[in-house]
Amino acid sequence: MDNKEIEQKLESKNVKPTAMRTLVYKTLAETGKALSLADLEQRFEKVERSTIFRALKTFEENFIVHPVDDGSGSVKYAVCDDECTCNIHDLHVHFYCTRCGRTRCMKELPIPNIKLPEGYTYDNAQFIINGVCPRCD
Amino acid sequence: MDNKEIEQKLESKNVKPTAMRTLVYKTLAETGKALSLADLEQRFEKVERSTIFRALKTFEENFIVHPVDDGSGSVKYAVCDDECTCNIHDLHVHFYCTRCGRTRCMKELPIPNIKLPEGYTYDNAQFIINGVCPRCD
DNA sequence: TTAAACTTTGCAATAGTGTTGCACTAACTT
DNA sequence: AAGTTAGTGCAACACTATTGCAAAGTTTAA
Interface test with A, best of B95, B129, B132 (most A CBs within 10 A): B129
Q: Between A119 and A46, name the one with better pLDDT.
A: A119
Q: How far is CA A37 from the centre of its chain?
A: 11
Positions 77-136 in B, CB within 7 angstroms of strand D? none
Q: How far apart are CA B68 and CA B80, in angstroms?
A: 11
| Nucleotide lying nearest to A18, CA to C1' measure | C8
Calculate mean pLDDT across residues B9-17: 96
| Confidence category of residue B63, pLDDT binned at 50, 70, 90 | very high
Q: What local confidence, expressed as pLDDT, does residue B120 receive?
A: 97
Q: How many residues does chain B have?
A: 137
> Residue A69: which residues within 8 A CB-CB, separation 6 or more?
A75, A76, A126, A128, B69, B71
> Is the C-beta of residue A47 closer than 7 Å to nucleic acid chain C?
yes
Annotated binding-site residue? B136: yes
Supply φ then ψ for residue B38, to 5 degrees.
-65, -40
Helix (H, G, I), strand (E, B) or coil at B40: helix
Q: How far apart are CA B18 and CA B49, in angstroms?
A: 16
Q: What local confidence, expressed as pLDDT, does residue B119 receive?
A: 95
What are the pLDDT digits (tens) for B65-118? 999 999 999 999 999 988 888 888 889 999 999 999 999 999 999 999 999 999
Q: What local confidence, expressed as pLDDT, does residue B130 receive?
A: 95
Chain-chain contact of B119 with A131 (C-beta, under 8 angstroms): no
- Is beta strand A92-97 parallel, antiparallel or unpaired with respect to A65-68? unpaired
Q: What local confidence, expressed as pLDDT, does residue A75 receive?
A: 97
Q: Where are the domains of chain A?
A: 3-136
Q: How far apart are CA A2 and CA B112, in angstroms?
A: 40
Helix (H, G, I), strand (E, B) or coil at A2: coil
Nucleotides of strand C lying closer than 7 angstroms to a protein CB: 7-13, 16-21, 28
Chain A 4-23, residues with CB within 8 Å of chain B CB atoms: none
Q: How far apart are CA A119 and CA A112, in angstroms?
A: 20
Positions 13-32 in A, CB within 7 angstroms of strand C? 15-16, 18-21
Domain A3-136 has CATH 3.40.50.970: no
Q: Between A87 and B98, name the one with better pLDDT.
A: B98
Q: How far apart are CA A36 and CA B67, in angstroms?
A: 22
Q: How far apart are CA A55 and CA A77, in angstroms?
A: 11
CB neighbours (10 Å) of residue B71? 19
Q: How far apart are CA A32 and CA A5, in angstroms?
A: 16
| Nucleotide lying nearest to B15, CA to C1' measure | D6
Query: Which residues make beta-bridge pairs with B117?
Result: none
Nucleotides of strand D lying closer than 7 angstroms to a protein CB: 6-12, 15-20, 27
Amino acid at A40: L
The DSSP element (H or E) to which A42 belongs, if any, is helix A37-43
Query: Which residues make beta-bridge pairs with B34?
Result: B103
What are the pLDDT digits (tens) for A90-113? 899 999 999 999 999 999 999 999
- Taking the Cβ of residue B73 and every Cβ of chain A, the question of whether any pair is shorter than 8 Å is answered with no
> Is the C-beta of residue B50 closer than 7 Å to nucleic acid chain C?
yes
CB B62 within 8 A of CB B15: yes
Whether A57 has a pLDDT exceeding 90, the answer reads yes
Helix (H, G, I), strand (E, B) or coil at A65: strand
Positions 13-52 in B, CB within 7 angstroms of strand D? 15-16, 18-21, 46-51
> Is the C-beta of residue A38 closer than 7 Å to nucleic acid chain D?
yes
Q: How far apart are CA B51 and CA B59, in angstroms?
A: 12
Q: What local confidence, expressed as pLDDT, does residue B1 receive?
A: 80
